[in-house]
Amino acid sequence: MAEILPALPFETAQAPPGQEPPTYYVDENRQVMVLCPKCERARNLDFTQHPEVGPVIRTWCKCGNEYFCRLEFRRTYRKRVNLRGTFGLPDGSMQGDMTVTDISLGGVGMKLPTSYGLQPGMFLDVSFQLDNLKGTPIQRRVLVRTVHGLSIGAEFVGHRERDKDLGYYLMA
């Protein structure tokens, strides 16, 4: 399970030359979960007291690593969908079926047939197909943010190579 700790220090910074930091979508409460690329610790950043922050920040992980994040404050459009898919724990110890009920550039909402014991802070690998013409496959690691009964809210983490297709899909 991911370690989730509050109060990560950060400051507005320039991205290092030739390096594009990963984009994180800040939610409507001006909070975002970021991930240390070195040790994969997830940490919450709170921008409620920082109206002028970004768009790129430098932050420091407990492991000693310094890393950069690009922040996207636009509240991303969430599309209601009904897409069957699967999820699994990254270590392969559990797999299950789920239905994606909504999707945005920042994450997915999922409905489970049974609880599977999922809790906020867990990482999952989710796999499903968009119902667009291409049937774009989406395979992404997500971080579970909310669990309400059988409804799961999860945020995408890591690389975003399919974002273009997903972006078009959300506009359709």
Which amino acid is located at 62 in the chain? K
Task: Assess 32 for contact with Zn ion (CB under 5 A).
Answer: no
Task: Assess 66 for contact with Zn ion (CB under 5 A).
Answer: no
Which residues pair with residue 23 across a beta bridge?
70
Task: Pick between residue 1 and residue 39 the one whose CB is nearest to Zn ion.
Answer: 39
Among 5, 20, 38, 137, binds Zn ion (CB under 5 A): 38
Q: How far is the CB of 59 from Zn ion (least distance, A)?
A: 10
Task: Assess 5 for contact with Zn ion (CB under 5 A).
Answer: no
Q: How far is the CB of 41 from Zn ion (least distance, A)?
A: 5
Q: How far is the CB of 40 from Zn ion (least distance, A)?
A: 7
> 123 to 142, contacts with Zn ion by CB under 5 A?
none
Assigned token pair, 143: 């971080």
Residues of this chain that bind Zn ion (CB under 5 A): 36, 38-39, 41, 61, 63, 65
